[in-house]
Amino acid sequence: MKAFGSNATAVVNAIDSLSKSGMPIIPNILVAGGGGGALDGLAAVLLKSLSEKK
C-alpha cells in the first residue's frame, strides 16, 4: 500500500471497516427539497417513524 500513500491507505481502510460493520451509510428515506422548509424535515421524521413500526 506504500504506492497509494498514507492518506489513500487510510481511506481504503476506513471504507473496508465500514463495509464489514454492516452499518448503513445511505439513508433509507430521502426527502428532497420542494420549498417546504420545516415541513420537509417533519415529513422525513414521520416517514422514518412509520417505517420503524413495521
Domain count, the chain: 1
Mean pLDDT of 38-48: 78
In a domain, 43, yes or no: yes
In a domain, 1, yes or no: no
Confidence (pTM): 0.41
In a domain, 38, yes or no: yes
Task: Indicate whether 54 pLDDT > 60.
Answer: no
Residue numbers of the domain that contains 24 = 6-52
In a domain, 14, yes or no: yes
- % of the chain residues with pLDDT over 70: 78
- What Cα–Cα distance (Å) separates residue 52 from each residue in 28, 48, 49? 11, 6, 5
In a domain, 28, yes or no: yes
Over the stretch 5-24, which tens digit does the pLDDT of each residue have?
888 888 889 889 988 988 77
**pLDDT of res. 45:** 81
**8-state DSSP, 45:** H
In a domain, 22, yes or no: yes
